[in-house]
Structure 1
């Protein structure tokens, strides 16, 4: 993306960000428009919606500070700008992006409904909660909960490690996480006014959003801010070590043609130029630069799930889930990586896609012996999913079980997309079931009776966890060792012990290399 293209797609403080604070006295006097405090929202799909509510502000590479609750009237009828990123649809982007969105059945301070706070995916580099799949109106209405979705700083702006350039930047490696913590403080202090119960706050997130939650579970300043958690195809076993994080910062500085110590240049350069630098090659893992939470020994004093599950969160009830065919979402069956795939080249196609260092030829032979009826394509997706996208969930669930956390539940989405036969049950496919956004743009779920039943099961389970600390499915057995009870969500919904035991044992022969480590 060129700087010009990025600039055209980006609205900075003078425009989109300022829209967060535009007074609307005449619009606000409309009796049909809901108002909470100084925020005037809208009615949407049978609930009240307050969008683009600012929860904080932050200078570049600085800790966020809370937005005052009182002040001039604010229209909260549109999403705020999303965090700057290299790819992010045609939406306004701004460094002034610390906003959240609330959907509530009604803003009655006595209602005390459970609160479900969603953190978006996109690793730590991109993504937004403006995606129609994650609009909260249907979830709020169907599950009778208050839904909050949060934007925060990403990539180098939220996670670059600058402490070697001065103690003033000691928090830099975890600023995106500190944004989320500030948003949770906002929920704790303000959600009653929107009809929510601050003593029943559940965080949930898909992909990178789940990883952010796993990281929060090891951050002392997040303790007590949420009372249940659910991760969907998102794990963070270990954070980035400070030395690898610094190598990444050095690569960014080099790509921007800045000297090794030029933190002022990095802090003041035009935003579009900084974003262009994110395309540099990652010196640790290859590919584009990775930025994520850093083991800084203050904000994050230990790895989230290594060498064990963080003790501070063992009492937090937790759902962990993955989809059966994760990698079909980003290794396109119609794309170049699958063109000409056959048994002769299968291993060399698998090798660069996995995060566990095993001989790919040996792996292929094990799959062929176990499943002689499978095609090369099916082996490719099974191996890349089990060797890349699934191991973190197994590690986290096992770690909680070994530590005695008895309120852990695991699910596996098996229901294939009825709209795309080549997709299977891929990464992100559980989102519309939980949010109830089956017919939204981008959903692969369909809207038939089976989709509705799957929605009822997953949405009910998540809302049940928020409401009572237990999923809303009586038959769902907690996860423990050695049984590893798992809710398998396919055309039927059943509990099965260790449903992919053979693959789990195969891939546990060697260590999992967490992206970023």
Structure 2
């Protein structure tokens, strides 16, 4: 037999593609869902790809979106392969049965990476295990950084999010040919991918394109438009060009990435600082996604699976020894977190009472995690009782200092713990039983809408995946969340004394200077 006779071939709306059979799974990589976003299309909304003649080879991952590499500190934990080429708006499909009529459930996956890094080519996201268990897995590339989320006066906002919407439409229209059921699509993502999922759940243009959603360590949110403009203006000043899309489109890509890295090198969840994000644009994002979803006027029928890791902050602080540095800064670091989170000293004292042995880094990390992540997801679950399922991933990494950190659960969700890139975070010897439990819950949710535990109600049940069998812990984080009732309703709180130590603005600037000298916190 020839390869043409043994390899799977599927026809898409733009032409036929030839994949590969791997371990009984049909895999198609690098399928374009939109035209290359360069030349006259740079900083513009995605356009359909040009149709092709014959059969296009889909055996290898397609080009990844332009992005800077991770810093050396983060690169020891996070893999981020780069595939050169312009045709970066592509996706991959893993399916157990590439035939119309199979009507299998579908999971569309949006990768994380602070909207500046990451891709569908990360080996942790391989979809073989989902296909093995009867789910069609689709992973998506989209524009990143200033190319995807820069805010310009002469171009539409959120082109990266528009890429994701275009991919979702492609899946809805095309997935039946790969054995998927367009009426059983689940949209999922982690970190920045989950934030994107939240925006798409609330987007009027995305209604009807999916049935369920998974938000891992990322809430629905909208970034501050002024902050996004400042990022562009700072880049423009360094580049010595106008802060317009037309001017940026003429800048060499490599130079643009270097400038973006220079401007955003102190960004990150703990300290804040310059960063890119999804903004309210009056069109695809007509209002803040969390406000829209908690008001109940978007995707009313969507089932939600959402949660976090116990020690999200450790991935943000552990690289470069920042846990120890923040612990040494003590009261100054806590005051910085209070200003970052718009909370008062009563909240900090409450956290300290709940964690009497915790150092400053632990308190700062949990404060920021609750402010940015857990509180919004609590709000979302409260607005959708009966159709929301909440989890906490609590298994600590076997690598020192990471605990149950941000992104650690991914190798368990995808059941890819055997690949080196999963072991970069988890270490060697992660329990397969935990992967069976977590992956199995995700498969059940995508297939049936029920991951295997009770939905959110007045008791606030949280499914905990840690050492030993999974367990349900009602009200797991309620004590911390309740402390925020004492925080100001809006606006930055003053930085009051912490345990009697007066904190001045000069002290907070010193925190930033010291962390900058130590390598800063780069978004992960």
1:413-464 deviation line (CA, Å, top 9, x unaligned):
11112x224321111111011101011113244686x822222222122122
Shift in CA distance, 134/222, structure 1 to aligned 2, threshold 3 Å: same
2:96 is aligned to 105
2:455 corresponding residue in structure 1:
478
What is the Cα deviation at residue 139 of structure 1? 2.2
1:225 aligns with 2:209: yes
Task: Name the count of aligned residue pairs.
Answer: 468
Other-structure match for 1:160: 150
Where does residue 267 of structure 1 map in the other structure?
Answer: 249
Asked if 1:380 is matched to 2:361, the reply is yes
- Which residue in the other structure is 1:465 paired with? 445
Deviation of residue 501 (structure 1)?
A: 2.4
Distance 1:409 1:301, change over 3 A: same
Aligned residue in 2 for 1:278: 260
Corresponding residue for residue 106 of structure 2: 115
Match of 1:407 among 375, 379, 387: 387
CA contact (8 A) 1:139 1:434 kept: no
Q: TM-score, normalised by structure 2?
A: 0.82
**Could you say which residue in structure 2 is the equivalent of 1:32?**
6
Matched, 1:442 2:421: yes
- Report if aligned partners of 2:81, 2:121 keep a CA contact under 8 Å in 1: no
338 and 385 in structure 1: CA distance in 2 versus 1, 3 angstrom threshold: closer
Q: 1:341: Cα distance to partner? A: 6.4
User: Secondary structure of 1:389's partner?
Assistant: helix
Deviation at 1:352, TM superposition (A): 4.3
Aligned with residue 315 of structure 1, among 294, 301, 311: 301
Does residue 149 (structure 1) correspond to residue 134 (structure 2)? The answer is no
Match of 2:68 in 1: 86
Match of 2:465 among 482, 489, 498: 489
CA distance in 1, matches of 2:125, 2:108: 11
Per-residue CA shift, 1:84-129, capped at 9, x if unaligned? 1122655234453100001111212121110011100001111111
Correspondence list, 1:206-355, <5 A: 206-237=190-221, 239-260=222-243, 262-281=244-263, 289-306=274-291, 308-309=294-295, 311-332=297-318, 335-339=320-324, 345-352=329-336, 355=340
Q: Tell me how far apart the structure 2 counterparts of residues 366 and 402 of structure 1 sit (CA, whole Å).
A: 23
CA RMSD of aligned residues (A): 2.9
Check whether the contact 1:314–1:400 (CA below 8 A) recurs between aligned residues: no
1:47-72 deviation digits (Å, cap 9, x = unpaired) = 11101111111310111112256633
Question: What secondary structure does 1:326 align onto?
Answer: coil
- Equivalent position SS for 1:442: helix
**Pairwise CA distance, 1:269:** 1.9
Tell me the equivalent position of 1:452: 432
Partner of 2:73: none
SS across alignment from 1:187: helix
1:429 aligns with 2:411: no
CA–CA distance in structure 2, aligned partners of residues 345 and 218 of structure 1? 40
In the superposition, relative to structure 1, how do residues 351 and 225 fare at CA in structure 2: closer, same or farther (>3 Å)? farther
**Partner residue in 2 for 1:19:** none
The answer to whether the 8 Å contact 2:313/2:366 transfers is no
2:353 paired with 1:369: yes
Local SS of the residue matching 1:305: helix
1:90 and 1:202 map into 2 onto residues whose CA distance is: 26
CA distance, structure 2, for counterparts of residue 319 and residue 175 of structure 1: 26
Whole-Å Cα distance in 1 between the matches of residues 300 and 61 of structure 2? 35
1:509 aligns with 2:494: no
